[in-house]
Amino acid sequence: MEDMIFYDRMQFAFTITFHYLFPQLTMGLSLMIVYFKWKFLRSKIEKYNDAAKFWMKIFALNFAMGVVTGIPMEFQFGTNWAKFSELTGGIIGQTLAMEGMFSFFLESSFLGLFLFGEKLLGQKLHFLTGFLVFLGSWASGYLIIATHSWMQFPVGYEILENGKFVLNNFGALFSNPWLMPAYLHNQLASVITSSFVVAAIGAFYLLNNKHSEFGKLFVKTGVIFGLISSVLVAFPTGDWVAKNVAKHQPVAFAAMEGIFETETGGSEIVLIGQPDMENKKLDNKIAVPNVLSFLTYQNWEAEIKGLNEFDESLHPTNVPGLYYSYHIMVGLGTLFIGLMAIAALQLYRKKLYKSKWILWSILFMLPFPYIANTTGWYTAELGRQPWLVYNLLKTSEGVSPTVSSGNTLFTLLGFIGLYLLLGLLFLMLAGKIINKGPETSNH
């Protein structure tokens, strides 16, 4: 049974980690495409329109990959997690069906019109199709996170005698106190990814002395969007999410922050340290006294409960994984603010395009927003363990009783091989589009 749960979780973790590499770019990129198109409508400068069309090609490629890698996850609800689907399908089925019916169809229909309908539609309607693609992708994120928020903080439900969850308040799904902080934090994080991608491609062009006009536009736009989103991800949205965890999942909060013992007279914030699970302490830690208490409760002396206050059966099943995920996310987020602030300062001083070390730094940082987004999701998911639905349904109670660990391991290896090929294909195609560069309207 232990093996079966482990492989079921591994398979879902692998497929969803790979899948989310794509939506995190499309959601943020759709906003930037709308911005480029809007700038073109206002200024009538063709390079903005060319930029919008160039990035929509990258968007379309990402979107296709997102669809292909997203479908197997839907099937896993029926294969590996049949008991979870049977018990909670009456609730999570609502939001997941809405995501498929409304957002996905909205996004895919208008994506085709944006890519191929510019001459037919005229510029204003072409802008509208781009805006509807943006709306569809952000609505998609909203409905997925509404599902996730219900699992983190269940609302508007009742449990029948047969153990099934049914919805008794549809509105509660969308007024869940967990939803809006998580949604805004997630969407801004996706804007960070797209900002770094746009800025990095711009830096690549400038460092190679090709498509220089677009290189400057991409770097400038990426840096401005990147600085704003990096700051907003930390405060207020990141702060808001952390306070939610402290309030509703205090045991997860203690594990995230690496607090094993409750500290009286204020809790320190740990910058670096390694959890020692045997001796229930942090090794080699660097910490700042009382700061965590102030950040969480605006009171330097506030008590924050340590893991010792909670029964061990309620502890997150992977405390080191949760602790490291959280600290990697926060550390990278801090780095993003620093780099984008320096780049914005150089942009203001009109020296950015000649500052090779900053352009190289932006190019080098390209993979790191993906890592930060992934560790952010790991923090949310590992923090909820050992529960599938927090405090109501254990992970061990949601797996399919008839699917063996051997079956799951075999299909997991198949997914790894297939996704490796898909990933290489994606990199080849994206590389070709980037290498060719934006097409100018003069041709």
Q: What is the pLDDT of residues 212-236, one digit of tens each?
A: 999 999 999 999 999 999 999 999 9
Q: Is residue 314 part of a domain?
A: yes
Which residues, given as ranges, of the chain have pLDDT below 70? 1, 442-443
Residue 263 has what pLDDT?
Answer: 80
| CB contact set of 382 (below 8 Å; sequence gap of 6+) | 316, 317, 318, 321, 322, 325
Count of alpha carbons within 13 Å of 391, Cβ hemisphere only? 10
Q: Per this entry, what is the length of the chain?
A: 443
Q: Minimal CA–CA distance to 241: which of 179, 301, 288?
A: 179
Strand, coil or helix: 157: strand
Q: Is residue 98 part of a domain?
A: no
Q: Is residue 424 part of a domain?
A: no
Residue 103 has what pLDDT?
Answer: 83
**pLDDT tens-digit readout, 18-59:** 999 999 999 999 999 999 999 999 999 999 999 999 999 999
Residue 443 has what pLDDT?
Answer: 45
CB of 249 closer than 8 Å to CB of 154: no
Q: Is residue 102 part of a domain?
A: no
CB of 185 closer than 8 Å to CB of 241: yes
**pLDDT tens-digit readout, 26-35:** 999 999 999 9
From CA 310, how far away is CA 363, in angstroms rounded? Answer: 45
Residue 1 has what pLDDT?
Answer: 65
Q: Minimal CA–CA distance to 206: which of 365, 359, 13, 321?
A: 359
CB of 258 closer than 8 Å to CB of 323: yes
Residue 442 has what pLDDT?
Answer: 58
**pLDDT tens-digit readout, 90-114:** 999 989 999 988 888 888 889 999 9
Q: Is residue 429 part of a domain?
A: no
pTM over 0.85: yes
Containing structural domain, residue 231: 188-403
Q: Is residue 51 part of a domain?
A: no
Q: Is residue 418 part of a domain?
A: no
Q: Is residue 352 part of a domain?
A: yes
The helix, strand and coil proportions of the chain, stated in percent and rounded to the nearest 5, come to 75, 5, 20
